[in-house]
Amino acid sequence: MSSSETAEGAVTGGEVTDGVVAGGERAGAVRLGHVTHRYGAVTAVGPVDLTVPPGEFLVLVGASGCGKSTLLRLIAGFEQPTHGSVRVSGSVPRPGETAGVVFQTPRLFPWRTVGGNIDLALRYAGVDRARRGEHRARLLARVGLEGTEKRRTWEISGGQQQRVAIARALAAEHPLLLLDEPFAALDALTRERLQEDVRRVAGQTGRTTVFVTHSADEAVFLGSRIVVLTKSPGTVALDLPIPLPRGDVDAEELRESREFGELRARVAHAVKSAAAA
């Protein structure tokens, strides 16, 4: 296996027993304790105190440069906080072992087929070769890509490539899924369809999900909870539970509902106010 195939997007396996892990913490729980992170003399984010219970869909939203992606990278274990503590399932997060991660670009391996990209993630997850075909088919079906396993990644659309990236992130049974503005480069129609896919998949898997976006509309549609960050250094400006129905709901009706419009307006106002403060 080429060393180039150990990119951040790859995932590995991890064991959870009865949903309880280190220190009696539940699998998928995220805790940030007075976290501050600096790049040289510049404070990018913090201090931030945040607890995400297992199964919650948390959306981090705010203006560019407020520290949303920095917090996501800290939760993923790609970086360590300058001050404070980050714990996922009771332990210090480790890249590739703590969470499945989906980035702004798919980061697929172009020399592999769609199925080959999924198989690589399954291999890192410790799935036996004999069982990978079954798992691959189930993952591709979950993101609406049945029958594409033999296609090259450059033969499918940008939206389909991002679906492959989501399937790859789901390959390991991590209780946490992290998504960093995964739909930012897509057209509006494809973005809405993928939002619906992610909302559905999160509900089906029950995984804790942390999603980064600039969009108030996207935040309200996806999240069961929204945290708005101030301008840099990012701190929590608004922590808002979203009481919209989840599960099997009509996406168009939800987006057109009065409650959705009111929440979207509240979040958009909070983002603008936080950026101007």
Structure tokens belonging to residue 241: 């539970």
Output the domain CATH number for residue 207: 3.40.50.300
**Angle in degrees, CA 237, 193, 206, rounded to 5:** 65
Q: How many CA atoms lie within 13 A of 181 on its CB side?
A: 18
Nearest to 184 by CA among 213, 161, 217, 225: 213
By the 8 A CB rule, do 155 and 117 touch? no
Tens of pLDDT, residue by residue, the chain (277 residues): 333 343 333 333 333 334 655 556 678 899 999 999 999 999 999 999 999 999 999 999 999 889 999 999 999 999 999 999 999 999 999 988 889 898 888 889 999 999 999 999 898 888 888 998 999 998 998 888 888 999 999 999 988 998 898 888 888 878 899 999 988 878 888 889 889 888 988 888 889 999 999 999 999 999 999 999 999 899 999 999 999 998 788 999 999 999 999 999 999 999 999 988 7
Range of the domain at 51: 3-276
Give burial (CB, 10 Å; 0-12/13-18/19+) of 40.
Answer: exposed
Domain count, the chain: 1
Structure tokens belonging to residue 271: 């983002």
Gap between the Cα atoms of 97 and 56, Å rounded: 20
